Amino acid sequence: MEEPGQLKRALIDATAGAISGAVSRTVTSPLDVIKIRFQVQLEPTAQWALLRKDSYRPSKYTSMWQATKDIFREERLPGFWRGNVPALLMVMPYTAIQFTVLHKLKTLASGSSKSEDHIHLSPYLSYVSGALAGCAATVGSYPFDLLRTILASQGEPKVYPTMRTAFVSILQRHGFRGLYAGLTPTLIEIVPYAGLQFGTYDTFKRWTMGWNRYRSSDPNESDLFLSSFQLFLCGLAAGTCAKAVCHPLDVVKKRFQIEGLPRDLRYGARVEDRAYKNIFDALFRILQTEGWAGLYKGIVPSIVKAAPAGAVTFVAYEFTSDWLESVST
């Protein structure tokens, strides 16, 4: 049985994590929809690639601007928030679990439950704590991630009009295991991604504190306090670094998640059932048929989304956590 202080801390972390995740996800939903449309498109996603003779059919989306115009013309504004409900159902428990487990792991590693003591952990421990927290959060929220991807990628006409129809169809066709399609590449992706995101965020915070200390006339006080803009920049840099390194695994995950999904031919060829044997086979086949560019489809909207998403998440978490602590004392 946890002590009241520990339970209170866990509730604060879970609530702050859920709120920060919901805010970040809703703000960046349009970029996420565009990213997913690129990732699940088998045809080339760049104009220059269409000139190659082995390009077997026209591409639906070829640039962020063109994709934005097409989605708005065909689906209007709601198209940019397609799949947002399951995404919120995914991201709120995800960030709640992630920040709760992260704080617990850092408390065990540092011997203190105070957040200001956690910043002095080594980069290695920050990376490991972030990776383990990401794994726990992924397993706990994965079915909603799967539903989000399917709803966001289907286009018009809708194959699944609601989240419930998608859920029931998956259970009927593939059973309970179908709700975890693509979990293995997701876990393989989340270890370096969450580790890099939290590890680099802590590193950038330490560097910024050092910079504040260097510039301050009172080095004993100001180094512990970062402005909201500084926190935003640290989150921005952390999100960019993590996404740039791990994007190919995210592409593979999306391909596994939409295997066999029927959709209109104007969106391009579909990913057939059991198109890939495993992660390595998927990486090899994508590389073989689509080139290196295939592994980085959607990288621009992905980074454009990941950078502010990471920044908003961290800033919202820090402020919400501080506010909850102040009102609960």
> Which amino acid is present at 168?
V
Average pLDDT score, the chain: 80
Instruction: Give residue 4's pLDDT.
Output: 44
Q: Say what the pTM is.
A: 0.67
- Residue 13 reports pLDDT greater than 50: yes
Q: Which of 190, 196, 144, 138 is nearest to 167 (CA)?
A: 144
Structure tokens at 234: 């640290």
Spatial contact of 305 and 31, defined as CB atoms under 8 Å apart: yes
DSSP H helix total and E strand total for the chain? 10, 0
Task: Say which DSSP state 78 is in.
Answer: G
Q: Which of the four pLDDT bands, split at 50, 70 and 90, describes residue 264?
A: low
- Residue 117 reports pLDDT greater than 60: yes
Instruction: Give residue 218's pLDDT.
Output: 63
Instruction: Give residue 329's pLDDT.
Output: 64
Place of tokens 């956590």: 321
Instruction: Give residue 265's pLDDT.
Output: 66
What's the CA gap between 42 and 267, in Å, rounded?
9
**Out of 32-41, 124-133, 216-225, which region has the weakest mean confidence (pLDDT)?**
216-225
What's the CA gap between 32 and 38, in Å, rounded?
10
Spatial contact of 257 and 220, defined as CB atoms under 8 Å apart: no
φ/ψ region of 58 (left if φ > 0, alpha if ψ in -120 to 50, else beta) reads beta
- Residue 3 reports pLDDT greater than 50: no
Tally the C-alpha atoms within 13 A of residue 47's C-alpha that lie toward its C-beta. 5
> Which amino acid is present at 140?
G
- Residue 253 reports pLDDT greater than 80: yes
Instruction: Give residue 1's pLDDT.
Output: 38
> Which amino acid is present at 113?
S
Q: Which of 62, 64, 194 is nearest to 127 (CA)?
A: 194
Q: Give 3-state DSSP helix, strand, coil % of the chain, rounded to 5.
A: 75, 0, 25
Q: Which of the four pLDDT bands, split at 50, 70 and 90, describes residue 63?
A: confident
Mean pLDDT in residue range 170-175: 88
Mean pLDDT in residue range 140-157: 80
Spatial contact of 237 and 204, defined as CB atoms under 8 Å apart: yes
Spatial contact of 245 and 322, defined as CB atoms under 8 Å apart: no
Instruction: Give residue 2's pLDDT.
Output: 44
CA-based R_g, the chain, Å: 21
Structure tokens at 226: 């970062």
Q: Which of the four pLDDT bands, split at 50, 70 and 90, describes residue 310?
A: confident
Q: For the purposes of burial, counting CB atoms within 10 Å of the CB of 53, is it exposed (0-12), middle (13-18) or buried (19 or more)?
A: exposed
What's the CA gap between 314 and 115, in Å, rounded?
13
Mean pLDDT in residue range 193-222: 79
> Which amino acid is present at 149?
T
Tally the C-alpha atoms within 13 A of residue 84's C-alpha that lie toward its C-beta. 18
